Amino acid sequence: MKNKENKKKVKKYKLSAYGRKMARKERRKDSLFLMPSFFGVSVFYIVPFFVVIVYAFEDNPITKNYVGITNFVNILQNEAFKLAASNTFKFSLVAVPLAVIISLLMAILLDQSIPLASQFRTVFLSPMMVPVASVILVFRVLFDYNGAFNGIIRFFGGSNIDWLKSDYAPLVVLALFLWKNLGYNMILFLAGLGTIPKEMMEVAYLDSSNAFKLFFIIKIRYLSPTILFVTIMSLINSFKIFREVYLLSGNYPHGSVYTLQHFMNNMFTSLDYQKLSSAAIIMCFVMVIIIGILYILENRFGKDMEG
């Protein structure tokens, strides 16, 4: 409440004519700094996006007839798009919780005073810096039909699985995704753990009969903004899984790992502007909704924590 009153007072205070002129001049100078970036982002991202919206409502770029939502209906009935969307959805549903929980456990593990903790941090973070393309060969050798993994399975009396060309393919991609992203998430959690005040933990330790349980409750409570952020980032990274799939099995993977980017690539090769633009807008819409929901959640929980 007090804050609001203060703000009102500031607003009532008026500058002289000269002051206003100087302030305007300064603002103009400040916005000059923004110009190169604003220009580039407008040209390469914002303006063409409006054109994409226009394309999505036309029948084709030459005749330019308004067709309403036909394009959107077409894309939502497209089998390939449906397959890609459901694959992405299923993958995110499994990968995101795993990525959040395992990395949280790893961060808590390194937060205990174990020897070589900082070396472990380096090791866990290293996959982030190793280009995926470099280790893809090892993954292919491991998970090929004649690969090392099948060797182990045969040793125990199982039969060969063609990991990359069967319904098991998402598992390989999941392994690669976790390997790549856990370190990044862990660093975020470690930073979050670092902000928990020590006195808080000490008080909890003294007060409670079940120290372990209370510890956990306080930590999770304090980490809730970080957990939300990690969830958002993992979700966004899980939409970028195309890179790993492409490097593992190229432009035509097994149906179980066919991603939205594969669909878009096909549309790009056939230059199907209608499908491209309506698909892009649908995805953009979904992303904005997801981000919006998480943003609202964060505001609710985050504010709670600050107070």
Q: Which of residues 150-189 bind another protein (CB under 8 A)?
A: 150-151, 154, 160, 162, 165, 179, 182-184, 187-188
Binding segment (CB under 8 A) for another protein, from list 5-13, 74-82, 90-98, 272-280: 272-280
With contact defined as beta carbons under 8 Å apart, do 64 and 58 qualify?
yes
- The interface region with another protein, picked from 13-21, 28-36, 69-77, 199-207 by CB under 8 A, is 28-36
Answer yes or no whether residue 306 interacts with another protein by CB under 8 A: no
What is the rounded CA–CA span in Å between residue 164 and residue 143?
Answer: 7
d(CA 39, CA 60): 29
Binding positions for another protein, 77-96, rule CB under 8 A: none
The answer to the question of residue 57 lying near another protein (CB under 8 A) is no
Size of the site for another protein (CB under 8 A): 104
What does the DSSP 8-state code read for residue 257? G
**H-assigned helices in the chain:** 2-12, 17-41, 47-56, 70-77, 79-111, 117-129, 132-143, 148-155, 169-194, 198-207, 211-238, 242-249, 260-270, 273-306
Q: How near is the Cβ of 231 to another protein at its closest, in Å?
A: 12
Q: Reduced to 3 states, what is the DSSP secondary structure of residue 241?
A: coil
Answer yes or no whether residue 287 interacts with another protein by CB under 8 A: yes
Nearest approach, Cβ of 172 to another protein (angstroms)? 12
Q: Does the protein bind another protein through residue 242 (CB under 8 A)? A: yes
User: Is 181 within 8 Å of 99 (Cβ atoms)?
Assistant: yes
From the list 12-20, 202-210, 211-219, 222-230, the region that binds another protein by CB under 8 A is 222-230
Q: Is 15 in the site for another protein (CB under 8 A)?
A: no
Q: How many CB atoms lie within 10 A of CB 269?
A: 9
Please tell me whether residue 112 binds another protein under the rule CB under 8 A.
yes
Question: Does the footprint of another protein cover residue 205 (CB under 8 A)?
Answer: no
203 binds another protein (CB under 8 A): no
User: Does 49 interact with another protein (rule: CB under 8 A)?
Assistant: yes
Q: How far apart are CA 173 and CA 175, in angstroms?
A: 5
Report the residue from 144, 204, 256, 297 that binds another protein according to the rule CB under 8 A: 144
Instruction: Output the smallest distance, CB 16 to another protein, in A.
Output: 18
Rounded CA gap, 143 and 175, in Å? Answer: 11
Minimum distance from residue 213 beta carbon to another protein (Å):
17
Q: Binding residue for another protein (CB under 8 A) from 123, 211, 296, 305?
A: 123
Stretch that binds another protein, among 1-9, 74-82, 209-217, 258-266 (CB under 8 A): 258-266
DSSP per residue, 13-63 = ----HHHHHHHHHHHHHHHHHHHHHHHHHIIIIIHHHHHHHHHHTBS-TTT
